[in-house]
Structures are given as structure tokens and as C-alpha cells.
Amino acid sequence: MPNPQPHIRDSAGDLSPGSDMHIGPTHLESATHSRRGVLAGVVRELSPAYFAMVMATGIVALSAHLLGFVWLASALFALNVAAYAIIWILYLLRIFWFRPQILEDITDHQRGPGFFTAVAASCILGNQSVVQADNYHAAELLWFLGSALWVFLIYTILTAFTVKQVKPDLYDGISGAWLLAVVATQSVAGLSALVSHHWEQPYRLIINFFALSMWLWGGMLYIWMISLIFYRYTFFRLSPDHLTPPYWINMGAMAISVLAGSQLILNVDHAPFLNSLLPFLKGFTIFYWATGTWWIPMLILLATWRHVYARHPLTYDPLYWGAVFPLGMYSACTFRMAHALHLDFLNTVPHVFFYLAFAAWLATFTGLCRRLATGARTLLTGRIHPHSAS
């Protein structure tokens, strides 16, 4: 296979992330080449699931907005727009420079499901555009993008997993990250129900039917996948290394299903066919909420076992955004469900989980900033130091 790493050639020679830097005619050229090499290295190793940062930041911002923390919600919204744009730039560079790695990742049972974060991130940002900025045009663009990505990824990834000849066993092949497919599906359902308010009939009716169909499909997909994950939990050895933060998506996938279901309940006046399904919608929304709630103590116990009993180090990993998102989503979905079903006795729950989610977001964001600062220091003092080329 040809080397997929990008090469930058001029008077200083070739430069790739894994090669030694050739001495250029000037220290400035060497520094420039080194920066490009570092960027290429970062892009090459970029996790397919890094859009989970946008998912986590977006849902914490939405929860803050719903609970009246408008200034915080606005700041997180602005940060999320910037993060979304930056991650897309890095993704596009990775597609352009490292296409073989993209193809390898998308067919990998562990890394492939991470691509579904691009769908969920687009739809969560679309929700923010409506709820926080009242910008339906931006939300519709993000809805089109999220829906197109969903169609491409769901059939590409699942088909690749089905037809590939060399497959891992269940022990090594499945994790909570697989439920990102459910999160992506329900994020499209939720945003569809939300943007339908801006459409005239008969399109409003059609988009609500599409939202309902996606909501039902997401629920069926959860049943398929959680059965395998629970079997993996209980009948195979589970080491601390295997119990990665995406297992929190066991709960997060149910939470986003509650959010989408609550929006469909609120849309009954816009789509009369939903009225005949109202008892079903209400029942399954509560069923999803109860299932997600059951997972919370279980996940806390497992996290305690991992980090306290087994003493697994708690250091920054991009996968921790996958643990922040479910906490924020549980806050937002409980708020929406309590409003849709008039369950006022639940009003305290969203506040409690918002504070937990925001604390988790702060810890993870601090870890990211430290990682970036360390990388910047390495770049400035090591990779591009004038003497390092000699």
C-alpha cells in the first residue's frame, strides 16, 4: 500500500508525520515544515468520534438554556459553533490526506461507529440553532446534512461489518460506542420534529411522519445492540481497559430517544395522525426514560470499580466526551418529558443532572486544554527549535 501520509516538498526536502525533518536552507523553513508535519500527524491520528465534543457541548448548552442559564448557554453555543467548524476542517483534511486510514476506520468494529458522532453533532447543533438562536434556516441546513450523513454511514458501516471476511469475536468487537448509531438516528428524529414547525403543510405532516419513523427505527436498533452489549457484559471477562467511557451511551441513547419522543408528543397539533398514536408515544417515551434511568446506578458502580477498585488512571481521552453527553442529555430529556407529560414532580431532576453534566464538561474541557497546551509546548520547544534540525 502506498504511504498515505501527505508529503510537503520544496527546497527543504520531503516532510511527513513519520519521517525525520530534513534541514532546510533556513531555520524558518524548518520550523514551517515541522508545523506542517505536526498538523499532518494530528490529522492522521484524529479519532473518528471527536465530534462527541460538539455533541456534549451542545447538549450541555441546551440544558443550560432550558433551565434559564442563558449567558452560559450563549457562551457554550458560540464555542460549539467554533468546535464544529474546526473538527470538520480536520476531518476534511484527513479525508484528503489519509483516505486509506478513513477506509480502514470505517470498516473497523471498534472505530467505525465513531463516525456516527458527525450525524449527532450536526443535529444537536441544529437543535441549538432553533432553541437558542431561532435560526430555522441554519437548522434546516444541518438537518439536511445530518440526514444525508445518516443514510451514508448507517448503510456503509453496517454493510461493511456484514460482508468483511475477517471479523473480531464479540469479546473484542462490540462496545457502548455501537449505540452511537442509535444516538445518530434519534438525533435526526428529534431535529426533524423540531424543524417541522417551520414548514407548511403537507410538508409538515411528511416531516413528522419521517421523525416518527426514525424514532421507531432508533428504538428497534437499541434493542438489537443493547442485547449484544449486555451479553458481552455478563458472559465475558470485562477488564478496566474494556470499560471505556462510551459505555455511558447505554444511558445516553435512551435519553435522546426520550427527547425525540417528547418533541413528537408536543407536535400532536401539527400532525393529526400522531394523536391516534398518543398513548403509544407517551408509553414508550416513559419506557425509554425508565430504561435510561436504570442504567445510571449501574454505570456509576462500574465507573467506581474501574477507577477506584482497579485504579485505572483518570486521564484525558477524547472518549470522555462520550460520558459527558449522556449526563447533559438526561437533564434536557427529563425537562422536555416533564413538560410534555405534565410531570411536574420531576422538575428537580434536570437541575441535578445539569450540574453533574457541566462539572463533567469542565473536567473534560480542562483535560483537552492541557493536552493542547502540552502539544503546543512540544511543538515550540522541540519540533521547531532551531537546534533540533541539526
Q: What is the mean pLDDT of the chain?
A: 85
Q: Do 62 and 188 have their domain in common? A: yes
Report pLDDT digits (tens) over 333-360.
Answer: 999 999 999 999 999 999 999 999 999 9
Report pLDDT digits (tens) over 48-73.
Answer: 888 999 999 999 999 999 999 999 99
pLDDT at 36: 62
Q: Do 328 and 292 have their domain in common? A: yes
Q: What is the CATH number of the domain that holds 119?
A: 1.50.10.150
Least confident interval from 7-21, 58-72, 193-207: 7-21
Report pLDDT digits (tens) over 207-235.
Answer: 999 999 999 999 999 999 999 999 988 88
CB atoms near residue 42 (< 10 Å): 14
Q: Do 38 and 58 have their domain in common? A: no
Q: Do 272 and 150 have their domain in common? A: yes
Grid coordinates representing 334?
427529563
Q: Do 22 and 52 have their domain in common? A: no
Q: How many H helices and E strands in the chain?
A: 14, 0
pLDDT at 52: 93
User: What is the residue type of 229?
Assistant: I
pLDDT band at 127 (very low <50, low <70, confident <90, very high): very high
Q: Do 154 and 284 have their domain in common? A: yes
Q: Do 197 and 257 have their domain in common? A: yes
Do 12 and 30 meet the contact criterion of CB atoms below 8 Å apart?
yes
Residue 297 has pLDDT above 50, yes or no: yes
Q: Do 16 and 141 have their domain in common? A: no
Cβ contacts of residue 290 below 8 Å, gap of 6+? none
Domain that holds residue 173: 48-389
Residue 26 has pLDDT above 60, yes or no: no
User: Distances from the Cα of 154 to the Cαs of 17, 51, 123, 202, 207, in angstroms?
Assistant: 32, 17, 15, 28, 20
pLDDT at 206: 92
Q: Do 166 and 148 have their domain in common? A: yes
Q: Provide the CB-side half-sphere exposure for 49 (13 A, CA).
A: 25
Q: Do 176 and 252 have their domain in common? A: yes
Could you give the CA distance from residue 106 to residue 47 in angstroms, rounded to a whole number? 11
Q: Do 20 and 61 have their domain in common? A: no
Could you give the number of structural domains in the chain?
Answer: 2
pLDDT band at 38 (very low <50, low <70, confident <90, very high): low
* DSSP conformation letters of 130-190: HHTT--HHHHHHHHHHHHHHHHHHHHHHHHHHHH-SS---HHHH--GGGGHHHHHHHHHHH
Q: Which DSSP letter does residue 16 get?
A: -
pLDDT at 381: 62
Q: Do 8 and 64 have their domain in common? A: no
